[in-house]
Amino acid sequence: MISDKMKTIYVVGAGGRTGMLFCRELQNAARMIGVAFPAEIENIKSGKAKIARGKNPPEIFTAELVPPEDFGAAIVRNAPDFLWLAARNPVDKITAFYYRHFTNQQNFPALVLSQNGLSAVADAKKGLQEALGQDADKVAIVRVSLINGVDLNTDGDGTLTIGYKLPIKLGFGTAQTYIGDTDVSFSPSLGLGKIFKKAGVKAREFRGKDVLAMENAKLFLNLIGMAAAANGAGVAAGYRDKKIFKKEMAALREFVSAANAVRGGFAGKLGGYPVKLLARLALLPVCLLAPWRGILAGAVAKGRNRLKDLSEIDYYNGEVVRLGKKANVPTPVNEEIIAKARALKCKI
């Protein structure tokens, strides 16, 4: 199914911010077909979905779209090379739903996962096993770590506008490594790299075990500001507050210790962030870092200064707690952040 022709990518979750971003940014490099709920499709077709790319004024989002119930017919007309899940965690059930449409086939579209956290690949494998049985390991899985933050605003008339900086920066790599009996663990991710290059995306490819290091690096960046958010503060304000800063560093320290123990550490750089260096700094005594928290606040808040979204805390700090149990590393600070975040959400 993978050839030199223009690839076809189905994006599940095309009505959400990540799905909209990739449908828009890859449209000149591949045939992008979005899968969205009927209400989302109606909103998009009526011009009530917009994208503010970089410093450009908002543009109306347009895309080729199909609802989930028409997916089976759509893939008969236009077979996918990639099925990109831009839906939120967990992805086991949604993976099973879409791959049931490919039972009894010889070739399967590669599965692209751009979720936060560390669980997406394992969850997707459960879904593939449920849908395809013994053929599950014939589906190549490509992991994508998007670095750009995506803001979302909704107007009074229901118009949804997402915004993000340009260029798009991401890491990617093949996580499940076979198409049939062919080992593709060190292949150029099935042509996805060429698509990113053609689209002007600044993409770094990771291979083999380095895909885990990429995932670790992305989660490290995601964790920055979560202690602050659980206390109702933005990243910069949290780092300038001595008490919150200590919680931020302690939460990161727990994650670094667990990731070093059982997941092979961190990528050196991801999206321009020197994550491996930052991870090493997180292991230093907080008394050495506290005098520099003002400088650190300016550095880490650049492009990431909005109040962090607590809705996926189970796949941010929750991942640290699960990883800590696996690595036998205590994670009391991350557990505290989760409890505070849930209490805060209950009050809203």
**pLDDT tens sequence across 212-268:** 999 999 999 999 999 999 999 988 888 889 999 999 999 999 999 999 999 999 999
- Write the pLDDT tens digit of every residue in 174-225: 986 544 455 545 454 578 999 999 999 999 999 989 999 999 999 999 999 9
pLDDT digits (tens, 9 = 90+) for 68-84: 999 999 999 999 999 99
How many other CB atoms are there within 10 angstroms of residue 33's CB atom? 22
- Alpha helices, H only, 224-331: 226-230, 235-240, 242-262, 275-282, 286-289, 293-300, 317-327
Confidence of residue 3 (pLDDT cuts 50, 70, 90): very low
What is the band of 344 on the pLDDT scale with cuts at 50, 70, 90?
confident
User: Which residues pair with residue 295 across a beta bridge?
Assistant: none
Contact criterion met (CB below 8 Å) for 80 and 110:
no
- Would you say residue 53 has pLDDT above 50? yes
Q: What is the mean pLDDT of residues 317-342?
A: 97
For residue 167 the two structure tokens come to: 């260029």
DSSP label at 273?
B
What are phi and psi for residue 106, nearest 5 degrees? -90, -35
Tens of pLDDT, residues 192-205: 999 999 999 999 99
Helix (H, G, I), strand (E, B) or coil at 152: strand
Closest by CA to 8, choosing from 80, 83, 110, is 80
Question: Which one-letter DSSP state was computed for residue 33?
Answer: E
* pLDDT recorded at residue 301: 59
Q: Which of 230, 218, 248, 214 is nearest to 309 (CA)?
A: 230
Does the pLDDT at position 298 exceed 80?
Answer: no
Q: Which amino acid is at 306?
A: R
Q: Residue 269 class from Cβ within 10 Å (0-12 exposed, 13-18 middle, 19+ buried)?
A: middle
> How high is the mean pLDDT of the chain?
91
Q: What is the pTM of this model?
A: 0.93
Q: Evaluate if residue 36 carries a pLDDT over 90.
A: yes
Which pLDDT does position 296 carry in this prediction?
73
Residue ranges in 6-150 assigned as alpha helix (H) = 17-25, 38-45, 71-77, 92-99, 120-132
Task: Give 134: exposed, middle or buried? Use CB within 10 Å, 0-12, 13-18, 19+.
Answer: exposed
The C-alpha atoms of residue 81 and residue 6 are separated, in whole angstroms, by 9
Q: pLDDT category, 106, cuts 50, 70, 90?
A: confident
Q: What per-residue confidence (pLDDT) applies to 183?
A: 54
pLDDT surpasses 50 at 320: yes
Pairwise CA distance, residues 178 & 112, whole Å: 14
Answer yes or no: is pLDDT of 90 > 50.
yes
The answer, yes or no, to whether residue 145 has pLDDT greater than 70, is yes
- Residue 117 pLDDT > 60: yes
Residue 2: CB atoms within 10 A of its CB come to: 17
3-state percent breakdown (helix, strand, coil) of the chain, nearest 5: 50, 20, 35
At 292 the pLDDT is: 83
Q: In the predicted model, what is the mean pLDDT of residues 268-294? A: 91
Between CA 177 and CA 208 the distance in angstroms is: 9
